[in-house]
Structure formats: C-alpha cells, structure tokens
C-alpha cells in the first residue's frame, strides 16, 4: 500500500488512508478505469463514495492520476466534487469523496427520463454546473469532460460536477501545456477547436460542452450521439452547430434556446465565459435545485439497484450478440455513443494515415456516402434507431444500412412482457418490498442469484471467462506496486466482496476486459456512463482478432477498427424494470415501457426531422456537407478516411461490387419507403 500524499477532509475532518477503515458496499458506477462504490468510513460511521481506479486499466500516467486526485482534493466549491483523500491500495488508487446518492444525470435519464428532463430541472442542474465551471475556470482549470454523466446529484437535489480524469490546467507549461493541444474528451461533447489539430483551446471548450450537455439534458441524449465517432467529428467541424429547434423543441422557452445557442458558437472567442453566462435570463429564473431536481428521483429505487439493472441490461446485450469474446464486443460504438471519456487521438498519426489515402478514392467514397445518406434521410417514416446491419448489404455500407429497425425489442414487449428479465427481477424485488436495501444502510444483502439457472448470466459468465487476456497497461513510474493480479488484490482488500452475489461477478468480468494501452489508442475507457463493455485499442487488439472477427472486419486503420458486428451493437434489451418518465410526465407510470436508451423511434425523431437537429439553423439545413478535398487539412482527411472510406485494406470488394451493393441498398431503401407510404 502506498500513499499519494493527498488528503484533507470534509468539513475539516480528516479521512484516513487505511483501506481497512472503509467498508465497501455496492457498486454505484464505473468507467473504463474506475469503479465507484458506496462505502462506510468506519471511524465516522459515514457514508462516502470510493472511486477505485485500476492502475492497470488506466491509460494515464501516474502524474495524470496524481493530478486528478490532487485537483479533487484542492477543490473547495459546493458544486464541484472534492476528494477527501486518496491512496494506493495494491494496484488501485482509491479516491474517497462524498457519496452522491442519486448518481449521475445520465443514469437518471437512462433509467427514468429517456426523453430528457423538464426545463425547470434542466435550468437548476445547468446553473449549478455553470457555477462549478465558473469556479474551475477562475482557478485555471479546464474540465474537458463536461457531460450529463459527470454531473452528480444527491438526494437533496445538490448538483456537483465530477471526474477530473482529463482536466487540464491552463497555467501548465511545457509538456503539460502541450497536452492542451491533444484531443481529449468525449466526441459528442467536444468543441470544434478541440478537434482541430494544433489550434489549441482554452476554457471556452467547456462552454461548448456545457451547451451540448444542455441539449443532452433536454433530449435525453447528446446531438449526433447515434453516429459513429468519426462522423461526429466531421459533423462538429463542418456542420452548423446543433441547438434547440424552434419547431421540434416547442416546449422549451426562448431564453433556454438562446442560452444554448450562445454556448454553441463555433468561434470560441464569441462564446461567453461561465461568469457572463450565469447572468443570462435563463439562469436568473432558475429554481433552487431542492425544488426542481429533488423531485426527479422521488420514487426511484436506490442508486445501486438502478446501476445493477443497467449493467444487467448491457451485459445481456453483450451475451446476446454471440460475439466470440467480450474483447471483440468491446470495440463497440455503443460505448462511445453513451459517452466515453478520454478519447485520445494522436493527431500526427491520423494525419500520416490521411496522407496515404488518395483524394480520388476519398471523393468516390464521399459521393457514395452522400447518396446513401440521402437515402436514409429520405426514408421518411422509417424507424431507424440504430446501426442495424442489413444482411444483404455489404459490410462496407454498414453505416448506411440504418433503415431497418429490426431486432429492436418492440415497446409492447416491454410493457406487457410477462417473462422476467434479470434486471426486472432485481428491481421488482427491490421496488415491491424495498427489500432490505435501505439507503445508507451499513451492509446490503442482495438476494443470491444462480447464474447456472440463468441462461443470460451463464452465457455472460462463459464469455467473460474466455475473455481475459494479458494486459499491457502503462508503467507507473515512481510507485511500487504489488504485482499480484489486480482483481485478486481488489478482492482481498475488499474482503467482503468475496461474498458478493455471483450475479455481480460476471458483470464485472465482462467490463474488465483488458485495456490495451500503447501508442495507438482506441478509447479504452468504458464509460461510467455507458455501463457497457470497455473499448480496446485496435493496436493491441488487432493481433488478437480471431478468424471470425477478421471476417467481420470492415476496417482497421491505425487505432480504429470497425467490425460489421460492432456497428450493430446497440440493439437494446428492454429494461422493463423502472418506470420511465417523460419531461411532462412526472408521476411514475409503472406500465411505461423502457426499451433501450438510444432507441430513437420514428415518433421521437422522424427521419424528416433529423437534419434539423443536426444542422439546426440557417447555416446548413441539409445533411452534412462533405469535405472537399482541397479544403481537407490532415485531420479532416483522416476523419474522411475512417468515416467515408469503408473499404478497408482487407476488404475484397471491388469497385464494381461495391457499386452493385450500393444499388441493392438503394433499392432496399426505396422498397421500405414504398411500403411505408402504402401503410
């Protein structure tokens, strides 16, 4: 065990760096490199949260980790989560902080408000978040990962901004300063200037992310979230900024729309500072959070049961995908779509790869893309909620075969589903009897589960069992770490976690697929917000692909690889356990269906409306204009390669085949359209 030298305390009290002083209880959240537990600090008999950062899974070097812990311990603002103390236990860094009993806004939306919150709650949440940003910016910090998943709520409605995993200091010099020129954050929330190589950015990048977060809270998802990362990058750079639509978002006030528009200005110099934004009329009228936020979770089960339900749902998804291993599953876009942090691209590498691609090829792909896009956009009334792979369509066009809405569990099945899903079991038992699970109870006994009797769990377990691989995490200088397996270390430190219900173990196994670190990184942080499998670097991953996955491989270029199967990963399992609420519909409706967080059904988002959301405003009413090769700087070319050129080096399809396949997909789209128009 070692010490990190950060400490302090809540309310002047000191928290010890002795792991035995903490009793870890339920898991309440996780990211790719961290798992967060509700815990009791025994000397004070106080509930706290302990974030266990697995140093093996951390992409960052020890300095970064130390910086996060240090930043957190120096924080002194009611809207920013602070660390009471942090210390190293085995191969984990434990960060002790206040427990936020209602978890993140993202979790809350996923579980009960799939269409977003009502305006009064949004106003309060955003105002508190903005106060946090004002404080951080004043003290020279750029948060760099502002999003609903990092806005935490406690049961009194208190709002705190969390996760300094990728924050940067504006006063940094040298290497640290250069890190501000790196490409860090979560794609959908990232400001255009953050995506531009070498241009540098400052705290105004947080204001952009704040604007995106406002849209996320309003709609239940960030703009562009259903597109693959490279598409998002292109759209962010090229399109008019997203915003609240005057037609579609009628329920929202003019001042809210204006405020969002002020944040989402591409020219960072024209964005307001947090301080200035706080003076906007939208925030002047915002209610105190105890009035507007607290009621959001009045009738929901405890956080850990919500988290468990979401985990089960994600794990079941993984199992049902019949992927050869959890690792292969892990390249999923779904991860990214739900908000993966710390995308860390090597711009030079991307540029180098871009330079290897001929403009002609690129332009050809762009034209194909454009045509296909039109097909998709024109398929009015077609419910396309996810990247469902039309089997008759070449893997090269996976992204465009979105017209099919098959494979999605229909809402009816959700609400009337007589069969119990594992997550339903958990929440039902919790809901009905509130079981013994009392918030802040010192120990929680969960009902035992029997994976052997549960095909889903059994499957997960098997797949997880097969999936473990050697990890190649970064070396952590300056710290002596016990070389025992981190999992073992964790268990022994935790002691009682050995007794954890079996049902929890497979889930953890699934998530804990190794993080392949190395120079070329696919985001390897499974988001705390995503509750899904971790993503792996294609660098380390590439060699480990078995034949099947190679056959499915659409592209491997540099750090990214896209498989035909992972494109279609977002088929959701119905989560029929917790009543969902719409913004207008605040009382719980137990019969409400919950069918996946990212399902955008035709009612929610008709195809015809989509371009408005994407382009919003006068600048760019049609689908993303594609880069002209003459305008391409390295990065745009590179993104074009990934997004537009879905013909991998490995692909065997000739141009002729491709164009035939394109035709097939066009015909399919027309057929769907015709069918729809007849109905």
Ligand X SMILES: Nc1ncnc2c1ncn2[C@@H]1O[C@H](COP(=O)(O)OP(=O)(O)OP(=O)(O)O)[C@@H](O)[C@H]1O
Name the site residues for ligand X (rule: CB under 6 A): 28-34, 36, 49, 51, 81, 97-100, 103-104, 107, 149-150, 152, 162-163, 165, 341, 525, 527-529
Q: Which two tokens stand for residue 15?
A: 């928290």
Nearest distance in Å: CB 463, ligand X: 22
Contact 406, 389 (CB under 8 A): no
Strands 92-98 and 46-54: antiparallel
Q: Which residues lie below 8 Å from residue 270, measured CB to CB, with a gap of 6+?
A: none
- Indicate the residue among 383 and 527 with the shorter CB distance to ligand X: 527
What is the full DSSP assignment across 645-667?
A: ----TT----HHHHHHHHHHHHH
- Residue 555's beta-bridge partner residues? 562
Q: Which residues lie below 8 Å from residue 401, measured CB to CB, with a gap of 6+?
A: 387, 388, 389, 390, 393, 665, 668
Give the whole-angstrom CA distance, residue 362 versus residue 354. 10
- Indicate the residue among 216 and 365 with the shorter CB distance to ligand X: 216
3-state secondary structure of 638: helix
Does an H or E element contain 176, and which? helix 174-178
Nearest distance in Å: CB 34, ligand X: 3
Contact 526, 533 (CB under 8 A): yes
Contact 528, 36 (CB under 8 A): yes
- Indicate the residue among 71 and 527 with the shorter CB distance to ligand X: 527
Nearest distance in Å: CB 169, ligand X: 18
Q: What is the dihedral angle through the alpha carbons of 418, 422, 425, 426, rounded to the nearest 10 degrees?
A: -150
- Indicate the residue among 163 and 329 with the shorter CB distance to ligand X: 163
Q: Is 51 annotated as a binding residue?
A: yes
- Indicate the residue among 104 and 239 with the shorter CB distance to ligand X: 104
Give the whole-angstrom CA distance, residue 43 versus residue 532. 35
Contact 509, 327 (CB under 8 A): no
Nearest distance in Å: CB 99, ligand X: 5
- Indicate the residue among 163 and 368 with the shorter CB distance to ligand X: 163
- Indicate the residue among 103 and 302 with the shorter CB distance to ligand X: 103
Nearest distance in Å: CB 103, ligand X: 4
Contact 646, 662 (CB under 8 A): no
Give the whole-angstrom CA distance, residue 50 versus residue 99. 8
- Scan for tokens 């473990």, then name that residue: 468
Backbone angles phi, psi at 30, to 5 degrees: -160, 155
Taken in order 137, 141, 142, 143, the sign of the CA dihedral is: negative
Contact 531, 315 (CB under 8 A): no
How far CA 627 is from CA of 279, 347, 363, 635, in Å, comes to 38, 18, 9, 11
- Indicate the residue among 104 and 383 with the shorter CB distance to ligand X: 104
Half-sphere exposure of 495 (CA within 13 A, CB side): 7
163 is an active site residue: no
Give the whole-angstrom CA distance, residue 628 versus residue 637. 9
3-state secondary structure of 104: strand
- Scan for tokens 């950062």, then name that residue: 53
- Indicate the residue among 79 and 405 with the shorter CB distance to ligand X: 79
Burial annotation 551-583 (CB, 10 A radius, 16+ → b, else e): ebbbbbbbbbbbbbbbbbbbbbbbbbbbbbbbb
How far CA 37 is from CA of 96, 422, 438, 528, 535, in Å, comes to 10, 22, 15, 12, 22
- Residue 24's beta-bridge partner residues? 39
3-state secondary structure of 422: helix
Residue 618: count of CB within 10 angstroms of its CB = 7
Q: Which two tokens stand for residue 401?
A: 């075969």
Nearest distance in Å: CB 440, ligand X: 12
Give the whole-angstrom CA distance, residue 166 versus residue 185. 7
Contact 516, 535 (CB under 8 A): no
**Catalytic residue from among 90, 145, 369, 454:** 145
Nearest distance in Å: CB 425, ligand X: 22
- Indicate the residue among 92 and 527 with the shorter CB distance to ligand X: 527
Nearest distance in Å: CB 492, ligand X: 22
Annotated catalytic sites, by residue? Answer: 145
Binding-site positions for ATP read 51
Binding-site positions read 51
């Amino acid at each position: 065990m070692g010490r990190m030298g950060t400490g302090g305390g809540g309310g002047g009290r000191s928290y010890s760096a002795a792991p035995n002083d903490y009793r870890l209880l339920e898991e309440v959240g996780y990211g790719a490199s961290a798992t967060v537990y509700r815990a009791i600090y025994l000397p004070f008999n106080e509930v706290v949260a302990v974030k266990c950062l697995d140093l093996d899974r951390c992409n960052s070097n020890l300095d970064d980790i130390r910086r996060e812990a240090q930043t957190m311990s120096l924080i002194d603002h009611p809207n920013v989560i602070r660390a009471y103390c942090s210390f190293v236990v085995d191969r984990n860094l434990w960060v002790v902080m206040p427990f936020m009993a209602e978890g993140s806004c993202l979790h809350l939306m996923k579980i009960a408000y799939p269409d977003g919150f009502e305006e009064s709650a949004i106003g309060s949440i955003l105002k508190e978040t903005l106060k946090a940003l004002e404080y951080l910016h004043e003290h020279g910090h750029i948060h760099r990962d502002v999003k609903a998943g990092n806005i935490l709520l406690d049961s009194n409605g208190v709002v705190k901004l969390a996760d300094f995993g990728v924050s940067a200091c504006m006063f940094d010099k040298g290497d640290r300063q250069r890190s501000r020129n790196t490409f860090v954050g979560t794609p959908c929330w990232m400001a255009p200037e953050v995506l531009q190589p070498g241009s540098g950015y400052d705290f105004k990048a947080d204001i952009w992310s704040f604007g995106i977060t406002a849209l996320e809270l309003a709609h239940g998802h960030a703009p562009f979230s259903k597109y693959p990362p490279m598409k998002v990058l292109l759209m962010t750079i090229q399109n008019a900024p997203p915003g609240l639509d005057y037609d579609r978002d009628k329920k929202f006030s003019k001042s809210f729309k204006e405020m969002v528009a002020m944040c989402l200005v591409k020219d960072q110099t024209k964005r307001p500072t947090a301080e200035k934004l706080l003076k906007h009329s939208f925030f002047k009228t915002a209610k105190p959070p105890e009035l507007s936020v607290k009621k959001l979770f009045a009738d929901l089960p405890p956080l850990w049961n919500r988290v468990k339900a979401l985990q089960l749902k994600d794990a079941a998804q993984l199992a049902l995908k019949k992927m050869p291993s959890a690792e292969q599953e892990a390249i999923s876009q779904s991860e990214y779509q739900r908000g993966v942090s710390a995308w860390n691209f090597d711009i030079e590498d991307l540029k180098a790869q871009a330079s290897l691609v001929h403009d002609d090829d690129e332009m050809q792909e762009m034209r194909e893309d454009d045509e296909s896009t039109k097909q998709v956009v024109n398929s009015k009334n077609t419910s396309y909620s996810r990247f469902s792979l039309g089997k008759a369509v070449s893997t090269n066009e996976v992204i465009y075969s979105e017209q099919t809405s098959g494979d999605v569990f229909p809402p009816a099945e959700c609400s009337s589903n007589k069969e119990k899903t594992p997550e339903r079991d958990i929440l039902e038992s919790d809901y009905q009897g509130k079981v013994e699970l009392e918030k802040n109870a010192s120990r929680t006994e969960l009902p035992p589960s029997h994976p052997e009797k549960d095909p889903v769990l059994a499957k997960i377990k098997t797949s997880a069992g097969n999936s473990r691989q050697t990890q190649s995490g970064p070396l952590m200088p300056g710290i002596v770490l016990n070389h025992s397996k981190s999992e073992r270390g964790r268990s022994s430190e935790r002691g009682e976690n050995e007794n954890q219900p079996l049902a929890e173990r497979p889930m953890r196994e699934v998530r804990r697929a190794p993080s392949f670190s190395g120079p070329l990184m696919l985001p390897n942080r499974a988001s705390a917000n995503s509750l899904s499998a971790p993503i792996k670097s294609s660098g380390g991953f590439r060699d480990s692909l078995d034949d099947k996955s190679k056959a499915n491989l659409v592209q491997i270029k540099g750090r990214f690889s896209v498989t035909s199967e992972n494109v279609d990963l977002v088929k959701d399992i119905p989560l029929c356990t917790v009543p969902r609420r719409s913004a207008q519909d605040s009382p719980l409706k137990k019969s409400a269906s919950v069918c996946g967080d990212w399902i955008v059904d035709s009612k929610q988002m008709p195809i015809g409306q989509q371009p408005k959301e994407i382009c919003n405003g006068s600048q760019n009413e049609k689908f993303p204009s594609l880069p002209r090769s003459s305008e391409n700087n390295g990065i745009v070319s590179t993104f074009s390669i990934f997004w537009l050129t879905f013909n991998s080096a490995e692909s065997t399809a000739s141009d002729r085949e491709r164009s035939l396949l394109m035709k097939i997909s066009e015909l399919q789209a027309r057929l769907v359209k015709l069918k729809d128009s007849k109905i």
